[in-house]
Amino acid sequence: MAVVITYSGMVGSGKSVCSRYVGSELTEAGLPVYYFRFRFISLKSFFEKKQGFKKFTYKEDKQQPDPESKKVRFQNFKLKSNLFFAASMAYYFWKAYLFFFLIKVRYPKDIVITDRYIYDHLVHYRLEQRGYRFLYRVFLKMLPEPDLAFVLTSDFETIRRARPSYATEYVQLNLANYNFIEELYPGAILVRENQVKEKIESVLNIVKAYLHKQKLGG
C-alpha cells in the first residue's frame, strides 16, 4: 500500500529542502520513493514518467539578499472571499481525488512525496473569519488524507530574511493562514522550527518513525 507524504507551507520556510532531503535519504535506504507536484496534476499525469530522488546534501545558504533590490512581489495581494471557495469546492474535490486515484493506479506500493497539497490552496482564503471555518473542516474531512501531512512555517522575521522581495502584508496574511491549518485539520503536523536544519531533523525523525511502525505492522 502506498505511503503519501505531503509538504505544505510558506515559501521560504524550507519546504522544498525538507522534502528533497527526506526523499534522498529514503532512496539511499533502498526504498521506492517518488516525487510529485500536486499543483500540476492532470489526466496527463497518468502517463508521465515517475520522478525519483537524487542524492541531496543540505548546505546552509550563506548568500545575502541584495539590499538594493526594489522589486516587491505580491504588493497588491488580497485574500479571496470564502464565498468564492464555496463556489470552487467541486474543483478542489476533483483535484484531490484525482491525485489519490493516480497514486492508487501508478504508485500502489511506493512512497510518494508531494510538493504542496490542498492546504496550500486554502491559505488563499479568509480563514480568519470564524463563521466559515466549519465549512473548511467539513471539506477537509471529506477529502482523502495523506499518511503524513507536514505544514512548515516560521516566524515573520525568518521568512522576511529568506524572501526579502515579498510584500510585508503578503507574508503576514499567509503565515497567519498556515497557522490556522492545524485548527482546521488536526491531522496536520506543523513544523515551526525557524532553522531549516532543525526542520530537516524533525521531519526525518517523524517519517522514519512512521515507516518503522508500518513495517512492524503498527
Query: Where residue 12 falls among pLDDT bands split at 50, 70, 90?
Result: confident
- The residue-averaged pLDDT of 62-79 equals 71
More confident residue, 184 or 162: 184
The share of the chain scoring above pLDDT 90, in percent, equals 81
The candidate with the shortest Cα–Cα distance to 147, out of 206, 66, 65, is 206
Q: pTM of whole model > 0.85?
A: yes
Q: What is the predicted pLDDT for the residue at 69?
A: 55
Q: What is the predicted pLDDT for the residue at 62?
A: 55
Q: Which segment of 16-20, 57-61, 208-212 scores lowest on mean pLDDT?
A: 57-61
DSSP conformation letters of the chain: --EEEEEEE-TTSSHHHHHHHHHHHHHHTT--EEEEEGGG--GGGGGSPPB-----------PPP-TT----BTTT--PBPHHHHHHHHHHHHHHHHHHHHHHHHH-TTSEEEEE--THHHHTTB-TT-GGGHHHHHHHHHTS---SEEEEE---HHHHHHH-TTB-HHHHHHHHHHHHHHHHH-TTEEEE--SSHHHHHHHHHHHHHHHHHHHHTT-
- The residue-averaged pLDDT of 143-158 equals 94
Rounded mean pLDDT of the chain?
91
Which CATH number fits the domain 3-56+72-215, given the four candidates 3.20.10.10, 3.40.50.300, 1.10.10.10, 3.30.365.10?
A: 3.40.50.300
pLDDT at 200 over 70: yes
Q: What is the predicted pLDDT for the residue at 218?
A: 44
Query: Where residue 48 falls among pLDDT bands split at 50, 70, 90?
Result: very high
pLDDT at 71 over 90: no
Residues in the chain, total: 218
111-128 residue pLDDT tens: 999 989 999 999 999 999
Question: For the chain, which residues make up each domain, given as ranges?
Answer: 3-56+72-215
Q: Which segment of 23-27, 43-47, 74-78 scores lowest on mean pLDDT?
A: 74-78
Q: What is the predicted pLDDT for the residue at 141?
A: 95
